[in-house]
Amino acid sequence: MDLDRSFVIREGDLRILNPFDADKLATLGRVIRLRPDDTLLDLCSGKGELLCTWARAHGVRGTGVDISTAFTTAARRRAAALGVADRVRFVHDDAAGYVHPAPVDVAACIGATWIGGGVTGTIDLLARALRPGGMLLVGEPYWRREPPDRETVAACHATVRDDFDDLPGLVGRIQGHGWDVVEMVLADQDSWDRYAAAHWLTLRRWLDAHPDDALAGSFRRELTEDPLRHVRYRREYLGWGVFALLRR
């Protein structure tokens, strides 16, 4: 059980594996009013930047779960580097089936709602780990602008237009599922650029060092095609944000 090698290579030295920069992650931790010793569960925790930086800044404790051995190892290194290894732990496991041993104050899935088959299914999955009155954090894409054609939809990682809502539709879907949206922090075009463009440099450096690797051909195509997809489609049409929820 592990993440495909191509994803590990592509994410390179990125610490935040979504179109969020460090300032936005810090803003999110601040606006949801974390308190010392709040307990967190982060499903699909990636390289652990959320838990590690919030443990340092707010004194929280938590568990991150991710299917990637490389990301889990990187998260443990990050915790040690920030001096919070006694406050956070990282588990290599399938987040979709993970059962946390005790209710937590905050349960999060930031940008991986496929684990629950979509945003409402992921809300239900996270809610199983939540104490009464606790908060959920869900990261999810949405349409910034209505996609005009199937080419735009495909370039934004969707199969059909209805794979994503627009922002009012997404908020309405969450509310209709029985939750109040009590905060949100949204990516902007600059944070999208920082996330997307970091992949391009990583891929180019990797290709220079591994020209004969089995992945070289597909990565060469990606490096040729992805910058145009990003500037033509994704940064214009696709939004992304993290939404803080409390059960009604």
121-157 per-position pLDDT tens digit: 999 999 999 999 999 999 999 999 999 999 999 999 9
Task: Give ∠ CA 222-228-230 in degrees, rounded to 5.
Answer: 90
The SS3 of residue 8 is helix
pTM of the shown model: 0.96
Q: What does pLDDT average to over the chain?
A: 97
Residue 20: both structure tokens together? 């969020």
Residue 208: both structure tokens together? 């220079």
Phi and psi at residue 18, in whole multiples of 5°? -150, 170
Please give the single-letter amino acid code of residue 22.
A
Whether residue 6 contacts residue 37, with contact meaning beta carbons closer than 8 Å, is answered with no
DSSP codes, 69-81:
HHHHHHHHHHHHH
Q: Does the pLDDT of residue 85 top 90, yes or no?
A: yes
Q: Does the pLDDT of residue 13 top 90, yes or no?
A: no
Q: Does the pLDDT of residue 1 top 90, yes or no?
A: no
Q: Does the pLDDT of residue 189 top 90, yes or no?
A: yes
Whether residue 12 contacts residue 202, with contact meaning beta carbons closer than 8 Å, is answered with yes
Which CATH architecture group holds 5-147+159-188+239-247? 3-Layer(aba) Sandwich (3.40)
Enumerate the domain spans of the chain.
Answer: 5-147+159-188+239-247
